Amino acid sequence: MNSCPLEYWMWLQNALGAGAATDEILSYFENAKTMYEAGEYEWRLSGIFTASKIERLKQRSPKDFLQSVDECRGKGIKILTPDNEKYPKQYKSLTDMPLVLYVAGDESSLLDHIHIAIVGTRKASAYGMEVTQRMSFSLAKAGVTIVSGGALGIDSEAHKGAMLAKGRTVCVLGCGLCCDYLKANAALRRAITRFGAVISEYPIFAPASRITFPIRNRLISGLSLGVVIVEAGEKSGSLITARVAAEQGRDVFAVPGDILRSSFTGTNMLIKDGVKAVFTPSDVLSEYSYEYGEYLNTEGIDEFFSSAKYNNYQEKENSASKVKSPKKSVVLPQTASENAKCVFAILSVNAIHIDEISEKASIDIQKTLCALTELEMYGCARQIEGKRYIINK
């Protein structure tokens, strides 16, 4: 594919909208500049576009997006298009591949050999969060780049696990990179850019909505060889990712959960319907060891997954109800923010709710969440069920 100026791709993506079928267009016109120069007569002759779509194509021109190109560059945001050598080849096989990808962080993480997605519910149980972080940590240690959606709950733990392992992770957003969505995870997204990349197909200030996330999900699975569903209810958005992954020819895995708990209904049904159950990291990696073995280091990975480095979630919950010494056995780095230091001084082995932390620290809830995320990145704190936090001994 010949090189095409960014503003032409942005013009075409704007007209088509996220998630639109693009393979037929590029097969016919080669690239966005060729298409623009072909003009309305050729657009109609191609038979690809509806009348309403042609009207959208006519509403704006590529030069209208030159300012957006400059704005992205000024913010350090890279723009990848299908003719760029750093554009993920996995997306080129999609019928609805994004014509523009906005990237914050290290775009080379999109070209890693083995991407595995880990997704699940936002309202995760302590079990779900513990399994996710262990699984992500272990897979990242083995050489896998972890992909998720940057949401609260399972997504956050997937990203954190990879970063705690000093591995790579990619976050795919359902809004623009500069959108003020989910302030609670702002610190997490900043951390991800140091360990991988945060990406989106939406313009940098595009807001999130209930339809942008299902559209986004195809990019989570599309980048990945396989998708692990950790905890998902019967109507969880993660099941959309699982369905799309299967349609894209990706592998789908599910972690078994409590059969009496509704938040695991979706994952348990996936297993019942024939999806491979995951009990250890090897259950995932065994699918790729033959073809990608040279990029993996699986020695002792299952033993590490179940090691004492990560205490069983039941033991953590029990410790929250016991009176113990508040002495800390972890050390907070001097580079930590003042808010993180303040919150760290409040935490102990006895669980404390985020509202109480915020009150004791005399900082608002959003800054408290950012501080707690920072502490989790340093391995100094851990979240348990019910928005409670404990020191990470």
> Is residue 350 within 8 Å of residue 390, measured between CB atoms?
yes
> Is residue 6 within 8 Å of residue 79, measured between CB atoms?
yes
Would the pLDDT of 24 be above 90? Answer: yes
Q: Half-sphere exposure of residue 227, counting CA atoms within 13 Å on the CB side?
A: 33
333-349 tens-digit pLDDT: 777 888 889 999 999 88
- Between the CA of residue 279 and those of 101, 122, 282, what are the distances in Å? 34, 21, 8
Q: How far apart are CA 220 and CA 245, in angstroms?
A: 9
Fold of 313-391: Arc Repressor Mutant, subunit A (1.10.10)
pLDDT of residue 119: 97
Residue that is written with structure tokens 């795919």 in the block = 172
Q: What is the largest CA-CA distance in the chain?
A: 77
> Is residue 14 within 8 Å of residue 53, measured between CB atoms?
no
**Mean per-residue pLDDT of the chain:** 89
Q: How far apart are CA 107 and CA 72, in angstroms?
A: 14
167, two tokens: 């591995």
pLDDT of residue 388: 87
Q: How far apart are CA 257 and CA 304, in angstroms?
A: 21
Asked if domains 107-305 and 313-391 share a fold, the reply is no
Would the pLDDT of 43 be above 50? Answer: yes
Average confidence (pLDDT) over 295-323? 58
pLDDT of residue 300: 78
Query: Would you place residue 46 in the very low, low, confident or very high pLDDT band (cuts 50, 70, 90)?
Result: very high
CATH 3.40.50.300 fits 107-305, yes or no: no
Query: Would you place residue 324 in the very low, low, confident or very high pLDDT band (cuts 50, 70, 90)?
Result: very low
228-244 tens-digit pLDDT: 999 999 888 899 999 99
Average confidence (pLDDT) over 286-315? 73
pLDDT of residue 336: 80
> Is residue 175 within 8 Å of residue 127, measured between CB atoms?
no
Residue that is written with structure tokens 């080379």 in the block = 108
pLDDT of residue 317: 35
pLDDT of residue 304: 66
260-281 tens-digit pLDDT: 888 899 999 999 999 999 999 9
63-115 tens-digit pLDDT: 999 999 999 999 999 999 999 999 999 999 999 999 999 999 999 999 999 99
> Domain map of the chain by residue range?
6-105, 107-305, 313-391
